[in-house]
Structure 1
Amino acid sequence: MKCNENIKLVGTKVILVPYEAKHVPKYHEWMKDPELQELTASEPLTIDEEYDMQKSWREDGDKCTFLVLSKEAFEKTQDEIESLIGDTNLFLCDDPEGRKVAEAEIMIADKNYQGQRLGWEAMLLMLDYGVSKLKIEEYIVKIGDSNEKSINMFKKMQFDESARSDVFKEVTMRRIVSNEWCAWLQSQVNYVIEKYER
């Protein structure tokens, strides 16, 4: 999505940056992991397909992605590739009532950074960005039914289960954006939007 190609979101533990071609080799290595493929319902891609995917994320009007950096690691190294730990995405969905609905995703791929609430902060930053900048009115998440950590995380974010598929082994959860929820969301995040320097 073009609207976020020149900005970064700087939080307390994470920094969200646009997905650039320079990030593709590390991202591609992550996505060779069968466990990550299963958790993200992804198929393995060739490196050329991954570059095409990165370009699609940049140019398509219905996709918004940020890569997640460890703020602590970046402040030590000033190296985005070294500090890169995951990604977070929004897919804008067609809605029969004409509302702006987005499917949200979060992945902390680097196992050294899992379980430290970095995914929690990154997802909250993305949800807040979606509401404030993209005017999202409802969020959907689809989670593997065995992924209790993610299900519990979104419950804590006040998402409610709306469907369960035994065929796809998947739970769908939803959150309608309300004034009360936006106030809660903003009480949870502390970040600034800065210009992204390439």
Structure 2
Amino acid sequence: MRFNQSTSIDCGNLILVPYLERHVLKYHEWMKSPELRELTCSESLTVKEEFQMQKSWLEDEDKLTFIVVYKHGVENKKPQVLHEIASHHIDEMIGDVNMFLTEGYEDVEEDQNQICSTYIQAELELMIAKPEFRSKGLGTTIIEAFLYYIEQSGLLESTHIAKYIIRVGSKNLPSLRLFKKEGFQQTKYVACFDQVEMEKSIR
């Protein structure tokens, strides 16, 4: 999303920065891991496809993504939006967080008739690629900072998001616990993909 091309979110030890071309090769190395692809329900891409995906995440108006970097020796703090790309090294990358907008459908009653109503939903994805940074509470900081940005930036209103949703592999228990803690409720289990779907209404 062009909206965040020059934006960072500073949480002290964690900083969210736009997904840039210089991040792609490291990201591609991460996604060679079958475990990560299973946990994130992702497909294996070539380097060329990964660069195309990066461009899509940066430019498409229905996608928003940040790379997460970790600063050793820095204390955690409340998120602060910076209108610049914070200084960081590729080796400090530990994961990413993103959303993409899709159209949801629900049946509503109107004048004693059932009609299909549409709404905009934001599907969230969180990945901490480096195992040594998992189960340390960092996922909570990342998600809360990401949602803070969406709400404070005006994106919530301009994109008319009605709810957040996630789709997570049923074996990804840390993610399921995290989103439950953040107020998400399970709405569906998709057996063919072994995925749990959870959602959190906004309005």
TM-score of Structure 1 vs Structure 2, range by shorter chain: 0.7 to 0.9
| Matching residue's letter, 2:100 | F
Residues 146-186 of structure 1 deviation map (CA, whole Å, 9 limit, x = unaligned): 111111111100111111122211110000125xxxxxxxx
Contact persistence 1:13–1:121 (CA under 8 A): no
Tell me the distance in 1 between the aligned counterparts of 2:88 and 2:10.
15
Q: Give yes or no for the alignment of 1:150 onto 2:175.
A: yes
Higher fraction of strand: 2
Which residue of 126, 130, 134 maps to 2:150? 130
**Partner secondary structure for residue 183 of structure 2:** coil
Deviating beyond 4 angstroms after TM superposition, the runs of 4 or more aligned structure 1 residues are: none
Shift, 1:73, TM fit: 6.8
Name the structure with the higher helix share. 1
| 1:77-132 Cα shifts (integer Å, max 9, x gaps) | x6420110000010111134454320001000011211211121111111222233
Structure with the greater alpha carbon radius of gyration: 2
Partner of 2:127: 107
For the aligned residue pairs, the C-alpha RMSD in angstroms reads 1.8
TM-score of the two chains, using structure 1 as the length reference: 0.83
What are structure 2's unaligned runs of at least 5 residues?
76-86, 106-116
Distance in 1 (CA, whole Å) between partners of 2:71 and 2:118 is 37
Residue identity matched to 1:61 = E
* Higher relative contact order (Cα pairs below 8 Å, separated by 6+ residues): 1
Q: How many residues align?
A: 176
Q: What SS does the corresponding residue of 2:104 show, helix, strand or coil?
A: coil
| 1:95 paired to 2:104 | yes
TM-score normalised by length of structure 2: 0.81
Give percent identity, aligned residues only.
Answer: 41
Residue from 72, 80, 95 that aligns with 1:86: 95
Name the CA distance, whole Å, in 1 between partners of 2:51 and 2:74.
24
Unaligned runs of at least 5 residues, structure 1: 179-198
